[in-house]
């Protein structure tokens, strides 16, 4: 008889998902074409934060509505060119030349440009309040804020001793970026109802044109 060769226990392969005690960690649920999804327990917190972005969008729309109301006042319309020219005071030559370029354009018909600004801010306010065509609203609002910051606010300057901030319009730009990244128009907004309606123009609204990961409802 051939001698029996004792068999040694084969070492169990260590799973990258195993704990130090050897227990297997359960795989997290993944979306069809995305990274691993959060656990179901954390979904209420995620949903709460996203709804909070929707509320932030509405509050931000109220701010723009107040700004737009001031722009429709005769005091702004009648002194728009002077208001813009005043931003040149104390600025360095390059900034003064940039603002002067816009002043020259505005002086062609100050009333028309003043009404265009008022109309633009009104449209942004409506888009934010209703969550309607949000991506377009964020683009228009961000561009308008950037123009205001670089002209009427003089890039937040002049930066001399005693300066306390860099202007508020540039902060508006960052808020628009945050609203865009969070698809804030889908929460307490009309963009959710536009899915399948805009078709080739779906990129103008938040979240439309792509399938969102379903959020389980609590029972």
Residue ranges of alpha helices (H) inside the chain are 43-71, 74-78, 80-85, 93-106, 110-130, 134-150, 169-181
Can you tell me the mean pLDDT for 138-146?
95
pTM above 0.75, yes or no: no
Contact (Cβ atoms closer than 8 angstroms) between residue 184 and residue 192: no
pLDDT of residue 209 exceeding 80, the answer is no
User: pLDDT band at residue 35, thresholds of 50, 70 and 90?
Assistant: very low
Percent of the chain with pLDDT over 90: 32
Q: Which three-class secondary structure state does DSSP give residue 47?
A: helix
pLDDT digits (tens, 9 = 90+) for 144-186: 999 999 888 888 776 666 666 677 889 999 999 999 998 888 8
Question: pLDDT tens digits, residue range 67-126?
Answer: 999 999 998 888 888 888 888 888 888 888 898 899 899 888 889 999 999 999 999 999
Could you give the angle at which helices 110-130 and 43-71 cross, rounded to 10 degrees? 160
């Amino acid at each position: 008889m051939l001698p029996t060769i004792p068999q040694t226990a084969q070492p169990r392969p260590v799973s990258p998902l195993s704990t130090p005690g050897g227990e297997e960690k359960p795989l997290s649920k993944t979306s069809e074409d995305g990274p691993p999804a959060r656990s179901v327990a954390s979904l209420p917190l995620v949903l709460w934060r996203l709804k909070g972005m929707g509320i932030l969008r509405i509050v931000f729309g109220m701010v723009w509505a107040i700004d737009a109301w001031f722009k429709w006042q005769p005091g702004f319309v009648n002194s728009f060119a002077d208001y813009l020219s005043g931003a040149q005071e104390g600025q360095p030559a390059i900034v003064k030349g940039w603002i002067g370029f816009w002043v020259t354009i505005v002086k062609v018909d100050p009333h028309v440009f003043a009404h265009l600004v008022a109309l633009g801010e009104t449209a942004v306010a409506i888009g934010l309040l209703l969550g309607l065509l949000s991506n377009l609203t964020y683009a228009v609002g961000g561009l308008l804020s950037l123009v205001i910051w670089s002209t009427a606010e003089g890039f937040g300057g002049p930066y001399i001793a005693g300066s306390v901030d860099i202007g508020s319009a540039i902060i508006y730009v960052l808020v628009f970026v945050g609203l865009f990244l969070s698809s804030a128009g889908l929460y307490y907004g009309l963009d959710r109802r536009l899915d399948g309606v805009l078709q080739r123009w779906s990129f103008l609204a938040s979240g439309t044109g792509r399938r969102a990961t379903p959020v389980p409802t609590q029972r």
